[in-house]
Amino acid sequence: MTAAAFLRATATNTPAPEPPGEDADETFAAAFRAAVKLRFRADAPLAAITGSVRAATRRHGELVPVREAEMLIRSALGEQVPVAEIARTASVTAHVLLFATLVEELALTDDELDELLAEL
């Protein structure tokens, strides 16, 4: 399964086999950044970011690394935050699960989701 197919399955709550390996990390990060930029303005208040992270925890439970997710969103919006210290597993998990949550918040249609993933 490709990284884009895995992201689509996650965003649409479709069962997927095991996620692709480490070679998918950059695709996951790129999709996350694209969804963040669609969802938030560069000057988005922290409360809006926190709201999206809370939505992700409601949808995905304790799998979402909350502090890391907030930092990754802020970084995607251009803020200088210490994301280099985030462990790979937390980063990948946040990218995938927040991507799915942001797609839901944006109410993207299947075609819009496919278009977003095709741009990666």
The pTM of this model reads 0.93
Is residue 87 within 8 Å of 42, Cβ to Cβ? no
How far apart (Å, rounded) are the C-alpha atoms in residues 6 and 60?
16
Write out the residue range of the structural domain in which residue 110 sits: 23-118
Is residue 43 situated within a structural domain? yes
Is residue 9 situated within a structural domain? no
Q: What is the pLDDT of residue 1?
A: 74
In tens digits, the chain (120 residues) has pLDDT values of 799 999 999 999 998 878 898 899 999 999 999 999 999 999 999 999 999 999 999 998 889 999 999 999 999 999 999 999 999 999 999 999 999 999 999 999 999 999 999 998
Is residue 99 situated within a structural domain? yes
Structure tokens at 96: 């995938």
Is residue 112 situated within a structural domain? yes
